[in-house]
Structure 1
Amino acid sequence: MALLNQEQIKEILPHRDPFLLIDEVEELEPGVRAVALKHVKEDEDWFRGHFPGHPVVPGVLIVEMLAQAGAVCALSLPENKGRIALFTGINDVKIRRQVTPGETIRLEVELIKLRSQAGVGRATATVNGERAVTGELTFMFLKD
C-alpha cells in the first residue's frame, strides 16, 4: 500500500504532468531515504519515439525518476518545505537493464550527504529485483 499517492507527492514536489515521473511512495524517512514506484504504462508519451515497434524507457528518464524520489526525501523535511531541488551532477550512473511497458520500477534513494544548500544521494532502480539503473545524484536547493 502506498504511503503517498501522486496527489500527496504533488504537495512535496513542484513537478507536474507530463514531467511528474513517480506514481507513489512506498517508504519514506525524511532526509534519509525514500522508495518510490513508477508503473510504466504502454501509452507513456516517450514511447512514440523511443522506439517505435520496440518501446524502451529512456535511461535518462529513469535517472530523473530517481532524482524525483530523492527530492521527495529531501523536501519532506519541514525546513525544506516549498523549496526546489535542482540537479548539479550525475556520477557513476550505469544503465544495466532495459525497462519496457507493463513493468514497475522500484526507485530507492538514500541521501548520503544533506546540507542546507545541497546534497548527494545513492540511487538504485530495480525491476523485479533486477538492477536497472544505479548511480550517485547530486543536487542543490534553488535559492529561496
Structure 2
Amino acid sequence: MDIHQILKKLPHRYPFLLVDRVLAVDPGKSIKALKNVTINEPFFTGHFPHRPVMPGVLMLEAMAQTAGLLAFAGDTATRDANSVIYFAGIDGARFKRPVEPGDQLIMDVEILRHKAGIYKFKGTARVGEDIACEAELMCTMRTVS
C-alpha cells in the first residue's frame, strides 16, 4: 500500500499521519508498515532541541495507525468517511531504544482478538533488528457524525 492508498484508509493527515508505506498485509491477521523518521518532523523542535528523539507516545500512535490499516484491510472500498478507530487501552508498553532522525521505524502488528467492534492488537516497532517499542493495543471502531 503506498501513501495514496493509506490516505484512503486512514483519516489522519499531516502532521499526524505516521505511516508512510505498508510493506505487507495479511487481512484479518497481520501487517508490516514503515515510518521514515526525518529531522523535518515538527515534534523534534521541542523534543529535544539538543538531542532529537521521537516521543514514545508517537511510536504507539504509529503502531495504532498501522493497526487501523489492518482493521480496514479487508475493505476493498475506501473506509466509511465517518468511521474512526479510537484507543480503548494500551497494555505492556515498553520502550527499548530511542528513535532518531534518519531511522526507519518498521511496525509489525497482529490481531490477537476481534469481537463486537473491539480489537486487540500486538504491536512491535523496530529500527533495524532492534526493538524500539512494543505494546498491546485495544481499539474500538466507531461511526461518528
Give the TM-score normalised by the residue count of structure 1: 0.93
Where structure 2 has 5 or more consecutive residues not aligned to the other structure, the ranges are none
Distance 1:14 1:30 in 2: 19
Find the partner of 2:63 among 57, 63, 66: 66
**Alignment map for 1:96-115 (pairs within 5 Å):** 96-115=96-115
Q: Is the 8 A contact 2:122 2:135 kept in 1?
A: yes
Amino acid at match of 1:119: Y
Determine if the alignment matches structure 1 residue 133 to structure 2 residue 101: no
Q: Is the 8 A contact 2:63 2:125 kept in 1?
A: yes
Report the equivalent of 1:18: 15
Find the partner of 1:57 among 27, 43, 54: 54
What is the deviation of 1:32?
1.1
Which 4+ residue blocks in structure 1 deviate beyond 4 angstroms? none
Report the equivalent of 1:81: 79
Amino acid at match of 2:109: V
Where structure 1 has 5 or more consecutive residues not aligned to the other structure, the ranges are none
Distance 1:124 1:98 in 2: 14
What is the deviation of 1:26?
0.1
Distance 1:18 1:136 in 2: 24
Q: Is the 8 A contact 2:91 2:137 kept in 1?
A: yes
Give the TM-score normalised by the residue count of structure 2: 0.92
SS in structure 1 opposite 2:110?
strand
Give the alignment's Cα RMSD to 1 decimal. 1.5
Q: Is the 8 A contact 1:69 1:109 kept in 2?
A: yes
Distance 2:51 2:133 in 1: 19
